[in-house]
Amino acid sequence: MQRRRARRTPRDRAPAGTRASPHRPPLRDGRRGRRASRELPRDDGGCGARAVATPRSGPASERAGYAGALALLTAHPEITAIFAANDVMAIGALGAARELGLDVPRRLSIVGYDNTALAQTRLIDLTTVDDDSVGVGRESGRLLRARMAGEEPDGIRRTLEPALVVRGTTAPRA
C-alpha cells in the first residue's frame, strides 16, 4: 500500500508574517494574531481627515467585507467613511454598519469599486467607482487582435479613467 502525501501550499510551509511568506507582511496584533490596522501618513488637503489601512487577505466576498468592516468599526468607532475593494465587499460593510446601528450615509459613508449591477439597484443604491471594465475589455481585445494579425505596436499605453458614481451611501461633508 502506497502512502499519499498531503499537498502542501505556501501557506502551510511558513507562518504568516515571516520572511518566507512574502504574501503576508508582518502587521500582526499580538493579542489575537490578526493583522493590526494602522494609520497612514497622508496629505489630507487641509480637511483634517486621516486614513486607516487594514491589510487583509482572503476572498473579496460579502462575508469578508462584513467581517472587515465590523472589526474596523469596532476598533475605530470614530471612522466616518469606508472605501471597499469592490462593490460586494461594500455591501458586506453595509451589513456591518446596520448591525452596529450606524446610519448610512448620515453617520458612515460607504463606497465600493466596480459599479456592478448590484450596486445600481434601488435597494442598495451604492456609491461606487466605475472602473470602465467594458472599456478595458474592449481595448484589450482590440490590442490582442492587432497583435495576432502581426502588428507590433511599440510603447502602447492606454489610460481609461475611472469615474465616481455618487449614489445613496455617501453624504456630503459637514
DSSP string, 22-37: TTS-S-EETTTTEEPP
For 164, phi and psi rounded to 5 degrees? -80, 125
Which residue, 24, 77, 26, is CA-closest to 52?
77
Please name the residues in contact with 94: beta carbons below 8 A apart, sequence gap of 6 or more: 104, 110, 124, 126, 169
* Run of H or E including 164: strand 163-165
Predicted pLDDT of residue 71: 93
Would you write out the chain's pLDDT as a tens digit for each of its 174 residues?
Answer: 454 444 444 444 444 443 343 443 444 444 334 444 445 455 555 556 667 766 666 789 999 999 999 999 999 999 999 999 999 999 999 999 999 999 999 999 999 999 999 999 999 999 999 998 888 888 888 888 888 998 877 677 777 789 999 999 998 876
Predicted pLDDT of residue 87: 96
Residues 107, 100 contacting (CB under 8 angstroms):
no
Q: % helix / strand / coil in the chain, to the nearest 5? A: 25, 15, 60
Predicted pLDDT of residue 10: 44
* Run of H or E including 70: helix 62-75
Which grid cell sits at 20? 518566507
How far lies 31's CA from each of 34, 35, 39, in Å? 8, 10, 19
Predicted pLDDT of residue 29: 43
Domain 24-39+51-165 falls under CATH 3.40.50.150:
no
Please name the residues in contact with 18: beta carbons below 8 A apart, sequence gap of 6 or more: 26
How far lies 164's CA from each of 64, 83, 135, 147, 172, in Å? 23, 12, 16, 33, 14
Predicted pLDDT of residue 47: 59
Predicted pLDDT of residue 15: 43
